[in-house]
Structure 1
Amino acid sequence: DKECWDYKGGKEPYGWRMRKSDQPFFAVVNIGNSHESRAHGKVDNTRHDPAKMQLHSYHPDLPVIRQNYAKYADAVQDMDRGVQRCLDALKEDGLYEDTIIIYNSDHGGVMARSKRFLYASGVHCPLVIRIPEKFKHLYPASSRGMTVDRLVSFVDMPKTWLSLAGAEIPHTFQGTVFLGKGTEPEPRYHVAFRERADERLDHVRMIRDARYAYHKNYMPFAPAGHHLAYLWKAPATAAWEQHHRAGKTDSVTGRFFRPRVSEEFYDNDHDFDNVRNLIDTPEHQARIEIMKQALRRKQLELYDSGLLPEKMRDRRAAQHNLTIYEMVRDKKIYPLETYLDAADLALLRNAKNLDTFVESMSHSDEGMRWWAIVGIHLLGNEATPAIRVLERALEDESHEVRTMAAWSLVKLGRTSKAVACLEELLFNGSQCRSMVHNVLDWMGEPAFPLVKKYMKEGGSKKGRYGISILGRVAELQGW
Structure 2
Amino acid sequence: MKFIFKLLLVSILFYGCKTSAPTTSKPNILWITIEDTSPQFIGCYGNENAHTPTIDQLAEEGVRFTNAFSTGTVCSPSRSTLITGVRTFEMGTGNHRSFYPIPSEIHGFPYYMKEAGYYVTNNAKTDYNLRNGKAFIKDAWNESSKKAGWWNRKEDQPFFAVFNFEDSHQSRTMTNPYSWYTEKIYNKLNEEEKIDEGAFKMPPIYKDTPEMRKQFARVYNAISMTDKKIGHLLERLEKDGLKEETIIFFFADHGEGMPRGKTNGIDYGYRVPFVVWFPEKYKHLSPWETNGGVTDELINFEDLAPTLIDLAGGKLPQHLKGRILIGEHRSEEKELITLSSDRSDNGIDLVRTVTDGRYIYSRNFMPFIPQQRYIRYMEISEIVNQMRIDLKGDQLDSLQKSIFEARPKEYLFDIQTDQWETHNLADNPAYSQIKAKMKEHLKTELLERRDVMFLPEYEIAKISATGTPYEFRLDNEKYPIDNIFDIAFLSGEQTDKALKTQLQFLNSTDSIERYWAILGLRSQPKNKISPYKESLLKSVHDQYPPVSIIASVIAYDLYGNSDAKAKLIDYCLSENMQEALLVINLMNYLSVDQKSPFIPTMQKVYELKREYNVKVASLDFLGSLGVIENNYNNKT
Same fold (TM over 0.5): yes
Which stretch of the first structure deviates more once superposed, 134-143 or 393-402?
Answer: 134-143
Q: 1:62 to 1:289 in 2, by over 3 A?
A: same
Report SS of the residue matched to 1:443.
coil
Contact 2:605/2:615 (CA < 8 Å) preserved in 1? no
Distance 1:352 1:296, change over 3 A: closer
For residues 250 and 100 of structure 1, the distance between their equivalents in structure 2, rounded to whole angstroms, comes to: 46
* 2:542 aligned with 1:408: no
Post-superposition offset of 1:463: 7.4
1:398 paired residue number: 544
Counterpart Cα distance in 2 of 1:243 and 1:462: 33
Separation in structure 1 between the aligned mates of residue 162 and residue 138 of structure 2, nearest angstrom = 12
Q: What are the superposed Cα offsets for residues 375-431 of structure 1, whole Å, 9 maximum, x if unpaired?
A: 323332111331101111111001211122122223433433332332332346566
Residue 279 of structure 2 is aligned with which of 127, 132, 144? 132
Q: 1:306 offset after TM fit, Å?
A: 1.7
2:377 is the counterpart of 1:230: yes
Post-superposition offset of 1:374: 2.2
Residue 627 of structure 2 corresponds to 478
SS at structure 2 position matched to 1:368: helix
Separation in 1 of the partners of 2:461 and 2:613? 23
Equivalent AA in structure 1 for residue 616 of structure 2: S
Aligned partner of 1:25 in structure 2 is 159
Deviation at 1:465, TM superposition (A): 8.1
Q: 1:468 aligns with which of 585, 606, 616?
A: 616
Corresponding residue SS for 1:118: coil
- Whether 2:423 is the aligned partner of 1:276: answer yes
Deviation at 1:21, TM superposition (A): 1.4
Counterpart position of 2:488: 343
- Listed as ranges, the matches of 1:74-473 within 5 Å are 74-315=221-462, 321-379=466-524, 380-427=526-573, 432-455=579-602, 457=604, 459-460=606-607, 464=612, 468-473=616-621
Judge which range, 333-342 or 2-11, deviates more. Answer: 2-11
Structure 1's 63 and 219: CA in aligned 2 closer, same or farther, altered over 3 A? Answer: same
Distance 1:167 1:251, change over 3 A: same
Q: Does the 8 Å contact 1:441/1:470 carry over to 2?
A: no
Deviations 1:187-210 (A, max 9, x none): 112221111111221111111112
Describe the SS at the equivalent of 1:71: helix
Does the residue aligned with 1:26 lie in a helix, a strand or coil?
A: strand
Q: How far, CA to CA, are the matches of 2:259 and 2:345 in structure 1?
A: 15
Shift in alpha-carbon separation, 1:327–1:268, aligned structure 2, 3 A: same
Cα offsets for 1:320-359 (capped at 9, x unmatched): x432112111111111111111012232111233332222
CA 1:341/1:140 → structure 2, altered by over 3 Å: closer, same or farther? same
**2:399 partner SS:** coil
Structure 1 position 115, deviation (Å):
1.9
Moved more, 450-459 or 398-407: 450-459
State which drifts further: 190-199 or 444-453. 444-453
Distance in 1 separating the partners of 2:501 and 2:178: 54
Give the stretch that moved more between structures: 134-143 or 337-346: 134-143
CA distance in 1, matches of 2:604, 2:329: 63
Render the CA deviation track for 1:220-262: whole Å, top value 9, x for unaligned: 1112212222223442222122222333222211111111111
Change (3 A) 1:392 1:68: same
Structure 1 residues 274 and 137, CA, compared in 2 at 3 Å: closer, same or farther? same
- More deviation in 39-48 or 49-58? 39-48
Of residues 37, 42, 49, the one that matches 2:171 is 37
The corresponding residue for 1:73 is: 220
Write the deviation string for residues 297-340 of structure 1: whole angstroms up to 9, x where unpaired. 1111221012121103333565xx43211211111111111111
Partner SS, residue 53 of structure 1: coil
Q: 3-state SS of the aligned residue for 1:100?
A: strand
* Aligned residues of 1:214 and 1:264 also touching (Cα < 8 A): yes
Which structure is higher in RCO with an 8 Å CA cutoff and minimum separation 6? Answer: 2
Q: Report the CA distance shift for 1:120/1:41 in structure 2 as closer, same or farther (over 3 A).
A: same
When the two structures are superposed, what TM-score results if normalisation uses the length of structure 1?
0.93
1:458 CA drift (Å): 6.3
Paired residue for 2:196, among 24, 28, 49?
49
Question: Aligned residue pairs: how many?
Answer: 475
Q: Is the 8 A contact 1:377 1:404 kept in 2?
A: yes
- Which deviates the most, 417-426 or 249-258? 417-426
Indicate yes or no: 2:155 matched with 1:6: no
Give the Cα–Cα distance (whole angstroms) in 1 for the partners of residues 385 and 610 of structure 2.
Answer: 18
Query: Distance between the aligned counterparts of 2:612 and 2:463, measured in 1?
Result: 26
Distance 1:55 1:448 in 2: 35
**Are the counterparts in 1 of residues 375 and 620 from structure 2 also a CA contact under 8 Å?**
no
Aligned AA for 2:516? W
1:90: how far off? 1.4
Answer yes or no: is the 8 Å Cα contact 2:374–2:588 preserved in 1: no
**Aligned 8 A contact 1:33 1:75 in 2:** yes
Q: Secondary structure at the match of 1:332?
A: coil
Task: Please say if residues 438 and 469 of structure 1, whose CA atoms lie closer than 8 Å, have aligned partners that are also in contact.
Answer: yes
Q: Which moved more, 1:386-395 or 1:400-409?
A: 400-409
Question: Mind listing any 5+ residue stretches in structure 2 that lack a counterpart?
Answer: 1-136, 187-193, 629-636
Q: TM-score normalised to the size of structure 2?
A: 0.71
Q: CA deviation at 1:438?
A: 0.7
| Structure 2 SS opposite 1:103 | strand
* AA in 2 matched with 1:285: S
Structure 2 Cα separation of the partners of residues 472 and 116 of structure 1: 16
Distance in 2 between residues matched to 1:83 and 1:149, nearest whole Å: 25
Asked if 1 retains the 8 angstrom alpha-carbon contact of 2:354 and 2:360, the reply is: yes
**RMSD over aligned Cα atoms:** 2.3
Q: Residues of 1 paired with 2:574 and 2:273: CA distance?
A: 48
Measured after TM superposition, the shift of residue 467 of structure 1 is: 7.0
- Name structure 1 gaps, 5 residues minimum: none
CA distance in 2, matches of 1:19, 1:456: 53
2:603–2:618 Cα contact (<8 Å) kept: no
Whether the 8 Å contact between 2:585 and 2:621 is mirrored in structure 1 is: no
Helix, strand or coil for the counterpart of 1:67?
A: helix
